[in-house]
Amino acid sequence: MAANAHLTYHSDRAITVGQFQPNMGYKPNYSYAGPDIDEFQTFLRNCPMRGSLIDIGIPGWLRREDALKLYELARFAEGDILEFGTNEGLSAYILAKAVANSGRKAEIVSMELSPEISAAAHKNLTARGVDGTIRLEVGDADATCQRLVDSNRKFGFSFIDHSHAYEHVVKACHRLKQLIEPGSFCVFHDFNDKRNSRRTGLGETRNEYGIIAGIEDSLDINLFEFVGIYGCCGVFRRKDI
């Protein structure tokens, strides 16, 4: 982030477990001229839809507001990017376009548990010519994070979308404290979803999520502050301390 960049928060968009706020549209956190940052953000604003999800040729579950927010924060981020959950590469593609269009050099480290799904992502990203900026890691996210910590890696932005299970979200929050630079944004997918509950020990389920509870219990409020909700994403920022 530029040292003197003006940031706008939307902290009035707060929710807790069991709540859901519809129509949480995209609003920028950074100031920029014009309605969009560049042509690619304009493309995301007008791209085809499959129901409530964008459809740009890569399978995935991003609302338009999610995609616009991911692109904005990655576009203005400084340093490398850490993604929890590659899936088939939809969000990784958007992050890679943000890095390329910013003109800076940065690596995107994207973690995926399934070798088969990671292979599909590699195929999708290679076909679009952005694979050179993305390092795909296959295996347990927490174990991968430990290797990154051991290597003294730091990141300027993170997208967390690997697991909806409370225990995995808790682990991710602890890793963000170790891996994310001060001033950097963290985006949690499916934060704004009424399926979030307070039950633990559920594992992966389509019917109950532990995202908000995991954040409430383990994201250090002395280090991270709530920024707002955009689409289904909850955005936090590591404080400049």
**Structure-token pair, residue 8:** 């706008």
The model's confidence at residue 3, banded by pLDDT at 50, 70 and 90, is very low
Nearest Cα to Cα of residue 144 among 119, 122, 112:
112
Quickly list DSSP for 81-96. EEEE--TTSHHHHHHH
Structural domains of the chain, with CATH: 39-238 (3.40.50.150)
Q: What is the pTM of this model?
A: 0.95
Please enumerate in sequence order all residues whose Cβ is within 8 A of that of 187, keeping only pairs 6 or more positions apart, or say none: 69, 70, 73, 157, 158, 159, 160, 233, 234, 235
| Model pLDDT for residues 76-93, shown as the tens digit of each residue | 999 999 999 999 999 999
| Model pLDDT for residues 57-76, shown as the tens digit of each residue | 999 999 999 999 999 999 99
| Model pLDDT for residues 182-233, shown as the tens digit of each residue | 999 999 999 999 999 987 777 677 788 999 999 999 999 999 999 999 999 9
